[in-house]
Structure 1
Amino acid sequence: MKLSALAVASILGFAAATPAPLEKRATVQGFDISGYQPSVNFAAAYASGARFVIIKATEGTTFISSTFSSQYTGATNAGFIRGGYHFAHPGSSTGAAQANYFLAHGGGWSKDGITLPGMLDIEYNPSGATCYGLSAASMVAWIHDFVNTYHTKTGVYPMIYTTTDWWTQCTGNSAAFASTCPLVLARYASSPGTMPAGWPYQTIWQNSDAYAYGGDSDVFNGSLDQLKKIALG
């Protein structure tokens, strides 16, 4: 069923009302990290104004981040809203297999107000094969397999991290996920730019790969209360 723009806004946890013409939209600073940042000063990041962290948990069905547990605990103890992410390898195993692997190793979700839905990081292949050797239709089917498995197991849809360029090239610019999965858009520029098909706006914008306290800078497109609503499902 295709959802209305109002329903999409509700799913993403945003107020549906249009801001006044000169009103500055509320945003929340956050960041994402992996094993490349084994030691993060979470207290300092929180003191600077950051309020959420997305932490790499898994990759494919063979890699578990050795720093995930300590980073997740550190973020929790510092008062952050936090969640895990999975780096996809669509050419190596099914979406369901990778979703289950992610869920078994840190990607779970609970309705506690401080846990973000897991994030599917699907982007350029580090080994170089264009679109992991999949056609656009096969890629869309793979993403459906991951997303539906995650939703069945947790009751929430995962966030999807990508770039507009990759999404256009490798999914044929599919609009199939815009009504269910919050978009985390990567673009290192002064604005988010063009959205992938179907999404009216990004939920989170990864706007830099050099955050002051480690990892990448992320900006939530809304207020802290709206971010907390996403953590409540």
Structure 2
Amino acid sequence: MKWLGLIALVVGAAQAAVPGFDISHYQSTVNYQGAYNSGARFVIIKATEGTTYKDPKFSTHYTGATNAGLIRGGYHFARPASSTGAVQAQYFVSNGGGWSADGITLPGMLDLEGDCAGLSQSGMVSWVTSFVNKYKSLTGRYPMIYTTNSWWNTCTGNSQAFSANCPLVIARYNSVVGTIPGGWPYYTIWQFNDAYAYGGDSDTFNGSITQLKKLATG
């Protein structure tokens, strides 16, 4: 059963949700154990950007998160103007963004934000497709996609090409998640503010801890 089917089983549950957060080198110190003790169970950590940047805090954050008992994974900040999606997926996987079916590693996340990098909507869809397909071929998993409703509509024309396979991480700093773009029936993770008490941005997983572990298992 695909992850979409697994998560669908709990979408209608009584507001099942699991707290989490995301971090990068901008958070030089993170209280991983404090986050876990407060209820957080996952963290997404910046690994790479484009084809030349490796986050200098990735290993420290990854180790700290692991030691605290958090389910963790890496993310890649896309630079579509600099190279193909496939090249960036390879760079990401080679520098922390891989995946293994150990129950504690989230599939990698493709971070899509900012401007449209000079690409047409069809060109951006092709770029994302290139990244997604290469990541899948390298790891056996489809990556998560992080975006906003506005970016997705502007830069991809609200493409529905990824809703069947790639879990959606939606960013909206509000008390409600708002419109879900791209044909996704629901979000998997919602980043709802940029001021997490223990470091980084606040996230919530749309399901139970059992479903979160399934996402990390494949």
Say yes or no: TM over 0.5.
yes
Q: Is the 8 A contact 2:147 2:171 kept in 1?
A: yes
Moved over 4 A (4+): none
Matched, 1:67 2:70: no
Question: Equivalences for 1:171-210 in 2 at 5 Å?
Answer: 171-210=156-195
Contact conserved, 2:4 with 2:165, CA < 8 A, in 1? no
Secondary structure at the residue paired with 1:116?
Answer: coil
Is the CA contact 1:8–1:179 (under 8 Å) kept in the aligned structure 2? no
Letter of the structure 2 residue corresponding to residue 46 of structure 1: Y
The one-letter code sitting in structure 2 at the alignment partner of 1:43 is Q
- How far does residue 24 in structure 1 lie from its aligned partner after superposition? 2.7
- Give me the CA root mean square deviation: 1.4
Identity across matched positions, percent: 65
Contiguous gaps of at least 5 residues in structure 1? 1-5, 126-130
Contact 2:10/2:16, CA 8 A, preserved across alignment: no
Aligned in 2, Cα 1:109/1:144: closer, same or farther, shift over 3 Å?
Answer: same
Which of 97, 105, 119 lines up with 2:109 in the alignment? 119
Show the counterpart of 1:160.
145
Task: Tell me how far apart the structure 2 counterparts of residues 77 and 144 of structure 1 sit (CA, whole Å).
Answer: 34
Say whether the 8 Å CA contact 2:79–2:117 is kept in structure 1: yes
Question: Hey, what does 1:92 align to over in structure 2?
Answer: 82
C-alpha distance in 2 between matches for 1:151 and 1:81: 20
The superposition leaves residues 100-132 of structure 1 with CA deviations (integer Å, 9 ceiling, x where unpaired) of 00001000000000000000001114xxxxx10
TM-score where L is the length of structure 1: 0.91
**Separation in 1, partners of 2:206, 2:67:** 24
- The CA deviation string for residues 13-67 of structure 1, in whole angstroms up to 9 with x for no partner, is 3143673xxx631100000000000110111110000000000000000100010
What corresponds to 1:224 in structure 2? Answer: 209
1:48 aligns with 2:38: yes
- Change in CA separation of 1:184 and 1:17 when aligned onto 2, cut-off 3 Å: closer
Instruction: Give the corresponding residue for 1:128.
Output: none
Q: Figure out how many residues of one structure are paired with residues of the other and give that number.
A: 218
Q: Which entry has the higher C-alpha Rg, 1 or 2?
A: 1
Cα distance, 1:9 vs. partner?
Answer: 3.2
Q: How far does residue 8 in structure 1 lie from its aligned partner after superposition?
A: 7.0
- Say if 2:4 is the partner of 1:14: no
Distance 2:89 2:3 in 1: 24
In structure 1, which of residues 36, 51, 67 is the aligned counterpart of residue 26 of structure 2? 36
Asked if 2 retains the 8 angstrom alpha-carbon contact of 1:31 and 1:52, the reply is yes
- In structure 2, the gaps of 5 or more residues are none
